[in-house]
Structures are given as structure tokens and as C-alpha cells.
Amino acid sequence: MIELHRLTKRYGDTRAVHDLSFTVAPGHVTGFLGPNGAGKSTTMRLILGLDAPTSGTALVNGRPYTSLARPMREVGALLDANAVHGGRSAYDHLLCLARTNDIGPRRVAEVLEQVGLAGVARKRVGGFSLGMKQRLGIAAALLGDPKVLMFDEPVNGLDPDGVRWIRDLMRSLAAEGRTILLSSHLMSEMALTAERIVIVGRGRLIIEATVAELTTRYPTLEDAYMALTASSVQFGVSS
């Protein structure tokens, strides 16, 4: 479970997230949508304790990330697939993460298998395509077998086979009772993957609804998104 209560983050004059409250419940994929600069990545960073909120709270399983005793076992995230050491092999990258989180090497082999990278596990990450790095980032997120997972644009760089794989993976992780927050700009893909949708614009909540509700009111999810965010496409929002 992820709970945001009046979450606000300012960077100088920029209000990246403003008074944002919503809950992401387990058991289904929640799509996190919004125009460029709407505050999605900042929200995820705040949930992960990578940045401190200006005000408000972000809770993972009822607690702030910074007070979780074994964070990697509670929440996993892929925020930036390129944030890896290119000189290390995929196996060593994951093993390093595992060791610092008291996770055994068997789990490293398991997640490499799960994301389809077992065959290139000993190859240097620097030679990986973006799609392969996305899979490695997903493996890292899954390492602690957490109940809460967040993925920021995981479909970027994936071929059609990879896109379908992500869709199936997200849905199966949710079916296992996990909480899944997934951001993407690909509306048709989101319509196939998510059950609930949270749309933000200019750092604020625009709507929280099921895909079924939105596609009853609008012809497609993309139409719903376009109509609901029409006045929110703007960069560098100031207070």
C-alpha cells in the first residue's frame, strides 16, 4: 500500500508536487499519468525517500520509507534504467545490491531468469541496450521480493516482445497481491495493463478513477487523458 497525504515538493520557485493525496492499493496495477513535468518522477522519488517533501507525507506500508527496517524487502523501484555502473556485469550489479541488503545470491539468479537476462548475466552492463537495462532495473526492483513496486516508464526502449512482457509481468505481480504503481506515456499500453489510473498535472491530482470508468465517459483512455490534461501541459510551474 502507498499512501500520499497532502504531499508537496518545491524546488526554489518550482512547485513540482502540490498538495497531492492518493492511495495505491494492492492487487491491481495503478497507472500514473501526466504530461511532461507533471511531477510523477518527483512523487516516486519522495515515496522512496530520495528527496524530502516540503510538507505532507508519503507512506509505504504505513511508514515513511526512511523508517523501513529492510526497505528493499518492502518496496522496489525502477526509476532510471541508465543509473547503473557500466563496467560491472549484470550479475555483479545485482549481487552488490543483494549483499548490501542481506539477500542471498540464489535470489540474484532467480531475478535474472525472471527478466530474461540469465544468458547475458556475466556481460558488462555498459554494452547493454536500453531495453536490456530496463530489464536489469526491473530485476533490481524485484530482488527483495517486495510487496510494493514502482516503475517509471519501464516500457521505454523495449521492443514489442518486451512491451508485452512488461504488461504480463505487471499484471502477474499485481495478481500476486502486490501494489504496483506504473508510469508511462503510452496510453494504449496503459489501457491494457492498468486497472486504476491516477492522473496528475502541474503537480496536482486531476483524477483518480478506474480505466473502466474513464473509458465509459470517453471513447478511449487516450481521449480521457487528452481531455483531462488539456489545461495542464506546461513546464516549470511556479508558485
Ligand X SMILES: Nc1ncnc2c1ncn2[C@@H]1O[C@H](COP(=O)(O)OP(=O)(O)OP(=O)(O)O)[C@@H](O)[C@H]1O
Residues that bind ligand X (CB under 6 A): 11, 14, 16, 34, 36-42, 235-236
Our CB check for ligand X shows the closer of 130 and 175 to be 130
How many whole angstroms separate alpha carbon 40 and alpha carbon 162? 23
Q: Which is nearer to ligand X, 14 or 23 (CB)?
A: 14
Residue 104 identity (one-letter amino acid) = G
Q: How far is the CB of 35 from ligand X (least distance, A)?
A: 7
Q: Minimum distance from CB of 41 to ligand X (Å)?
A: 3
Minimum gap (Å) between residue 184 Cβ and ligand X: 9
CB of 50 to ligand X, least distance (A): 10
Please give the Cα distance from 130 to 179 (Å, whole number).
25
DSSP letters for 87-100: TSBHHHHHHHHHHH
What are the grid coordinates assigned to 9, written together? Answer: 515538493
Closest distance of CB 155 from ligand X, Å = 13
The nearer residue to ligand X, 114 or 156, going by C-beta atoms, is 156
Nearer to ligand X among residue 15 and residue 147 (C-beta) = 15
Q: CA–CA separation, 44 vs 200, rounded Å?
A: 13
In angstroms, the CA 44 to CA 40 distance is 6
What cell was used for 7? 504531499
DSSP string, 9-72: EEETTEEEEEEEEEEE-TTSEEEEE-STTSSHHHHHHHHTTSS--SEEEEEETTEEGGG-SSHH
How many other β-carbons are positioned within 10 Å of the β-carbon of residue 68?
17
Cβ proximity to ligand X: between 13 and 106 the closer is 13
- Minimal distance in Å, beta carbon 113 to ligand X? 30
User: Residue 234 carries which DSSP code?
Assistant: -
Closest approach of Cβ 205 to ligand X, in Å? 13
User: Judged by CB, which is closer to ligand X: 111, or 141?
Assistant: 141
Q: Which is nearer to ligand X, 39 or 53 (CB)?
A: 39
Residues 6+ apart with CB under 8 A from 223: none
Three cell numbers, residue 97: 545490491
